[in-house]
Chains A and B, each alone.
Chain A
Amino acid sequence: MASAGTSTGSPDTPRAVANKSDKRTLVRAIRMALGLESVAVRRNTQNFNRNRYRVTAEVADYDALKDEARAIKERSIAGLPDLLNALEKAVRARGGQFYLASTAADACRYMLGVCQAHNAKLVVKGKSITSEEIRLNHTLEGAGIEVAESDLAEFILQVADEQPSHIVAPALHYTTERIAALFKRKFSTDAKLETGEELTKFARERLREKFLHADVGITGANIIAADTGTIMLVESEGNIRMTCLLPPVHIAIAGVEKVIPSRQDIGPFIELLALSATGQRLSSYTSIISPPLDDPPFALSGRPRKRREFHLVLIDNGRMKMRQDPVLQETLYCIRCSACMNSCANFQTVGGHAFGGETYSGGIGGAWEAGTGRLENARFSDLCTGCSRCVTNCPVRIDIPWLNEVLRDRLNRASAGSPLASLLGLASAVRGDDRRASAQKIFFANYHWYASWGARTAGFSNRLARSPFVRRVMQALVGVDSRRELPPFPARTLVRAAQEAPPRPRGGAFPGRAAKVVLFADVYTNYGPAGRGLATLKVLRALGADVVVSDAVPEGRAALSQGMLATARKHARRTATLLMPYLEEGRDVVVVEPSALAMFRRDYRHLLADEARFELLRTRSFEPVEFAARLLARSERTARYIFDVSRSPVGTRLFYHSHCQQKTLGCAAPTEALLREIGFDVATSNVECCGMAGSFGYKKEYYDLSMAVAADLYLQVQAAEQAAAGGARAIIASGTSCSEQLQAGLGRPVMHPIELLAAILKV
């Protein structure tokens, strides 16, 4: 087959775009996925996502379970060599064989040897993504052994010759219609193949014969207990139980990271895995077995009854090196549940054939591809916007955005750089190591630098930014999509406006010690919708707080999200130094832009060497409405005493979209609660992210994806306005770039909740 390329005009296939070590292939893959796979991916991942939220809410000690699972994984990876020794003893003591394979080829060679020793003609296989990693089928089939994939999703992929698009449901990019078309093309059959029932029946009947006649069964393993050699196998179809039970030889393969100390440690994992994966309370079948099983293997009439044999094959293939890597090490805690990808707005829209490599996909996928292959294979992790929605949904609390930021940093350093990038980097004082990043990345990492120039000449720069010629130049040079309107610079920055409008004396409504606050002039608010900062001043002062405004310095989010860590660290240090004196004089920090706030509460853990400073910032920084609600709670006053809903300039019906980072920080709820308490009728979005995600949606490669993600949000606005008690709603959003995205799609003004609160103050 001719290679599918854009030049020939032939459509791309998933295989043709599996390896995304160059960025052009990533862009082609996004186009392919948006065209072909988005409908099924969106439906299936969002279904898993909804179910997970529903069932985890039933588990009272969900957070404690996550802590426990995390602690077990930390212990296991730290003590892995000892665990492997113990496991080998346990497996052998039960009469099984144990093999530790150093590479993919080594693992394949061993398993082929086992099959050949039994003169195997037919191998039946349960789902194992690790077997995809090592291309096991290729080896076995190359030696003339038939491999029957018994998981229906893997069966589809085998027929279609595609790589998995998801680690739990590897064919979730297929609609029923596409499967029917595929089967009709590949099988000559008179069977009616249209509905899910018919397709399932067709596959079941073919595979039933394979189970009964297979010489060898191969499965993965979700968890392995070192003390007893017990493996946990999770599935819904029953094919894995068949694979373990019927053939005389059972081979289980898994990465070495699956080993935990004891069978008792399985407790939290059996409870977390199904919840986090498909959002089921428990999957249809969860086997907890210490093979070889006692049951005699199956032998249909005429076939000899053989002795049962078991091989546990553990695969290193780069994992022991990941274990030594201070950052990638965390990847090994992954239990491959897929919660990170199901809760990811980009993944929900394109799936793992765009947001994924040859085997692994989604937020955690880049680290797996880099760890078990080459760094360049992780290029697709550029689709991680750092929105952080996966972080609270990961059952072992992996900081997935951080993994991707570090991978991006390493990819930047490994690239050749360009003269334009160097020039931009020099001009904007980017740290030397970071100047190898692309001009696009350097441009976005330095928003504050050109924004400060733009704001000085706001009238002129805003006219310039609207010029089609300038937009085309920006697209060509630094990859800003020309279809995007650039947010206007304010006539007066927040810092200047605050200086010009000194605080009026505080009213007497709030006796007692005044709360002391420094409003951090984040660069997005300061050089953008500065009115949000002024509204924050007004509301907090009306609530009796003593508020001052800091200088505007970049806090590092922009550099961090481009993977320019040296620059991000520099910005973090400078910001912490700026804020320390305020904290020391007893001021809490309030930040308007949630992604900047998230730096203080989450990301500075990685960027500030000084842990005490991070702790101080983490515990004493707040979102404006969150802080206002705290002040209210401390006062004796009700919300309606301070705010009067009838003064609202936009009516009482609102549609509120909270920012992704804000949700992760747990400070979306206070805004919703306060608005309702005041008397607003609030409909909310439940999308994970708007798709803009700071700079992501501005990039020319990702504009289409960004708008496709936003389609869900626009639909939710529409649905809320067309609901039974319908009618227009004012659009309210807390993020700077979310507001841009909402404006772009709806063509309507967007207000920040703090601006609304400022407008309805009674005092």
Chain B
Amino acid sequence: MAAPAQTSLIDLFVSRATEAAAKVERIPRSPADVRAAIARATKGARTLVIADGEILPAEVFAAARMLPGVISQPTDDQLAAADAGVTEAFAGVARTGSICIAMGPPLRAAASLLMPLHVALLPAERIVFRPRELFEAKGIGVEALRRNLAFVTGPSATADMGPLVRGVHGPHRLHILVLE
């Protein structure tokens, strides 16, 4: 199957992630734009935890850390009580509307899981078509095969109590910023 062109991959990603109940925004990738978008996305959150990135330039994270409410060296008690977590996404999967978090760097796993709101920064060029591309020893898969990954599709959810309820043990809200 021929993989669609990157622009249509982004469109598909946005529509599928939105269907999965994530909020998705496409923004420019300058540190100022990213910081402004994070500020909008985390409006109302009193405390924020920002995990370091590996793909995006350090300036992006440095700018984000200037936001009010950011806890720079959180204790575990602070992590457990924070309102929002911001992490980089290792990849996006268009067909399923998923982001893929690569764990390892400090705070990455916790900031994508423990807080009621998770804001993910996804570089647009890292969107692939289907999940299995992250299990193939070529392209982005080469690195993916070496990492601990969490594929995240929308917010935490359950239907065990009858109707679909969003926000169970994991984040109630997932906000994806696609950086173009």
Interface positions of A (Cβ within 8 A of B) = 44, 58, 60-61, 150-153, 156, 169, 171-172, 174-176, 179, 195-197, 199-200, 203-204, 207-208, 211-212, 236-239, 241-242, 245, 263-268, 270-271, 280-290, 293-295, 298-301
Select which of A152, A197, A203, A281 is within 8 A of B96 by beta carbon: A281
- State how many angstroms separate the Cβ of A541 from the closest Cβ of chain B: 45
Interface readout for B89-101 with A: 1 if CB under 8 Å, 0 if not? 0000101111000
**In the complex where A208-B169, A264-B135, A281-B16 touch, is A176 in contact with B161 (Cβ < 8 A)?**
yes
- State how many angstroms separate the Cβ of A308 from the closest Cβ of chain B: 12
- State how many angstroms separate the Cβ of B126 from the closest Cβ of chain A: 17
Select which of B137, B151, B154, B160 is within 8 A of A286 by beta carbon: B151
Closest-by-CB residue of B relative to A230 is B148
Best-buried of A212, A267, A268, A301 by chain B (most CB within 10 Å): A267
Contact A293 B148 (CB under 8 A): yes
List of A residues within 8 angstroms of B137 by Cβ: 264
Select which of A152, A281, A283 is within 8 A of B160 by beta carbon: A152
Give the complex CA separation of A156 and B160 in angstroms: 9
**In the complex where A264-B137, A267-B135 touch, is A238 in contact with B168 (Cβ < 8 A)?**
yes
Contact B153 A281 (CB under 8 A): yes
Q: Which of B27-35, B41-49, B74-82 contacts A (4 or more CB under 8 A)?
A: B74-82
Contact B163 A241 (CB under 8 A): no
- State how many angstroms separate the Cβ of A63 from the closest Cβ of chain B: 13
Contact B156 A263 (CB under 8 A): no
List of A residues within 8 angstroms of B96 by Cβ: 281-282
List of B residues within 8 angstroms of A242 by Cβ: 113-114, 169-170
Closest-by-CB residue of A relative to B150 is A287
Contact B151 A270 (CB under 8 A): yes
List of B residues within 8 angstroms of A300 by Cβ: 76-77, 80
Answer whether residue B8 sits at the interface, using C-beta atoms and an 8 A cutoff. Answer: no
- State how many angstroms separate the Cβ of B35 from the closest Cβ of chain A: 26
Contact B156 A245 (CB under 8 A): no
Closest-by-CB residue of B relative to A154 is B160
List 3 tightest A-B contacts by C-beta distance, closest first.
A238-B170, A176-B162, A267-B132
Select which of A152, A285, A290 is within 8 A of B161 by beta carbon: A152
Contact B168 A237 (CB under 8 A): yes
Contact B153 A238 (CB under 8 A): no
Answer whether residue B109 sits at the interface, using C-beta atoms and an 8 A cutoff. Answer: yes
- State how many angstroms separate the Cβ of B47 from the closest Cβ of chain A: 16
Contact B76 A200 (CB under 8 A): no
Name 22 interchain pairs, CB-CB below 8 A, sorted by A: A152-B158, A153-B160, A171-B160, A176-B163, A196-B164, A211-B169, A238-B171, A239-B168, A241-B109, A241-B113, A263-B145, A267-B131, A270-B135, A271-B132, A282-B93, A282-B96, A283-B153, A285-B170, A286-B150, A287-B149, A287-B150, A293-B109
10 further interface pairs, Cβ-Cβ under 8 Å (given A286-B153, A294-B148): A61-B1, A150-B169, A152-B168, A197-B165, A200-B167, A237-B156, A239-B169, A264-B137, A282-B96, A287-B149
List of A residues within 8 angstroms of B76 by Cβ: 298-301
Answer whether residue B136 sits at the interface, using C-beta atoms and an 8 A cutoff. Answer: yes
Q: What total of A-B pairs shows CB separation below 8 Å?
A: 161
- State how many angstroms separate the Cβ of A578 from the closest Cβ of chain B: 46
**In the complex where A242-B113, A268-B132, A282-B98 touch, is A236 in contact with B148 (Cβ < 8 A)?**
no
Answer whether residue B159 sits at the interface, using C-beta atoms and an 8 A cutoff. Answer: yes
List of B residues within 8 angstroms of A174 by Cβ: 162
Number of interface residues of B (CB under 8 A): 51
Contact A271 B130 (CB under 8 A): yes
Contact B158 A237 (CB under 8 A): yes
List of B residues within 8 angstroms of A267 by Cβ: 131-132, 135-136
Closest-by-CB residue of A relative to B102 is A288
Contact B165 A200 (CB under 8 A): yes
Contact B103 A196 (CB under 8 A): no
List of B residues within 8 angstroms of A152 by Cβ: 158, 160-161, 168
Answer whether residue B140 sits at the interface, using C-beta atoms and an 8 A cutoff. Answer: no
Answer whether residue B70 sits at the interface, using C-beta atoms and an 8 A cutoff. Answer: no
List of B residues within 8 angstroms of A283 by Cβ: 153
Closest-by-CB residue of A relative to B21 is A284
Give the complex CA separation of A280 and B159 in angstroms: 13
List of B residues within 8 angstroms of A238 by Cβ: 113, 156, 168-171
List of A residues within 8 angstroms of B16 by Cβ: 281
Select which of B108, B109, B148, B160 is within 8 A of A169 by beta carbon: B160
Interface positions of B (Cβ within 8 A of A) = 1, 16, 20, 75-77, 79-80, 93, 95-98, 103-104, 106, 108-110, 113-114, 130-132, 135-137, 145, 148-165, 167-171
Give the complex CA separation of A196 and B108 in angstroms: 31
Select which of B131, B145, B161, B162 is within 8 A of A264 by beta carbon: B145
Contact B103 A284 (CB under 8 A): no
Give the complex CA separation of A204 and B155 in angstroms: 15
Contact B103 A295 (CB under 8 A): yes
List of B residues within 8 angstroms of A151 by Cβ: 160
Select which of B79, B93, B161 is within 8 A of A199 by beta carbon: B161
List of B residues within 8 angstroms of A266 by Cβ: 135
Give the complex CA separation of A543 and B157 in angstroms: 57
Give the complex CA separation of A168 and B37 in angstroms: 38
Give the complex CA separation of A245 and B80 in angstroms: 13
Give the complex CA separation of A339 and B59 in angstroms: 48
List of A residues within 8 angstroms of B148 by Cβ: 287-290, 293-294
Give the complex CA separation of A69 and B92 in angstroms: 24
Give the complex CA separation of A175 and B156 in angstroms: 21
Closest-by-CB residue of B relative to A243 is B169
**In the complex where A285-B151, A300-B80 touch, is A237 in contact with B170 (Cβ < 8 A)?**
yes
Contact A284 B131 (CB under 8 A): no
Closest-by-CB residue of A relative to B107 is A295
Give the complex CA separation of A268 and B134 in angstroms: 11
- State how many angstroms separate the Cβ of A616 from the closest Cβ of chain B: 35
- State how many angstroms separate the Cβ of A175 from the closest Cβ of chain B: 6
List of B residues within 8 angstroms of A299 by Cβ: 76
List of B residues within 8 angstroms of A263 by Cβ: 135, 145
List of B residues within 8 angstroms of A294 by Cβ: 103-104, 148
Select which of A156, A241, A282 is within 8 A of B170 by beta carbon: A241
Contact B157 A284 (CB under 8 A): yes
List of B residues within 8 angstroms of A197 by Cβ: 165
List of B residues within 8 angstroms of A61 by Cβ: 1
List of A residues within 8 angstroms of B108 by Cβ: 295
**In the complex where A263-B145, A280-B153, A300-B76 touch, is A204 in contact with B160 (Cβ < 8 A)?**
no
Contact A289 B145 (CB under 8 A): no
**In the complex where A270-B135, A288-B149 touch, is A237 in contact with B157 (Cβ < 8 A)?**
yes
Best-buried of B154, B155, B169 by chain A (most CB within 10 Å): B169
List of A residues within 8 angstroms of B132 by Cβ: 267-268, 270-271
Select which of A171, A196, A203, A285 is within 8 A of B150 by beta carbon: A285
Closest-by-CB residue of B relative to A44 is B159
Give the complex CA separation of A207 and B130 in angstroms: 34
Give the complex CA separation of A156 and B75 in angstroms: 33
**In the complex where A176-B163, A204-B168, A266-B135 touch, is A245 in contact with B110 (Cβ < 8 A)?**
yes
List of A residues within 8 angstroms of B160 by Cβ: 151-153, 156, 169, 171-172, 200
- State how many angstroms separate the Cβ of B99 from the closest Cβ of chain A: 11
List of B residues within 8 angstroms of A208 by Cβ: 169
Give the complex CA separation of A44 and B132 in angstroms: 29
Contact A281 B95 (CB under 8 A): yes
Closest-by-CB residue of B relative to A299 is B76
List of A residues within 8 angstroms of B157 by Cβ: 236-237, 284
List of A residues within 8 angstroms of B159 by Cβ: 44, 169
Closest-by-CB residue of B relative to A288 is B149
- State how many angstroms separate the Cβ of A170 from the closest Cβ of chain B: 9
- State how many angstroms separate the Cβ of B88 from the closest Cβ of chain A: 16
Give the complex CA separation of A203 and B153 in angstroms: 22
Contact A196 B162 (CB under 8 A): yes
Contact B153 A241 (CB under 8 A): no
- State how many angstroms separate the Cβ of B113 from the closest Cβ of chain A: 5
Select which of A176, A195, A204, A289 is within 8 A of B103 by beta carbon: A289
Give the complex CA separation of A3 and B157 in angstroms: 38
Give the complex CA separation of A179 and B161 in angstroms: 7
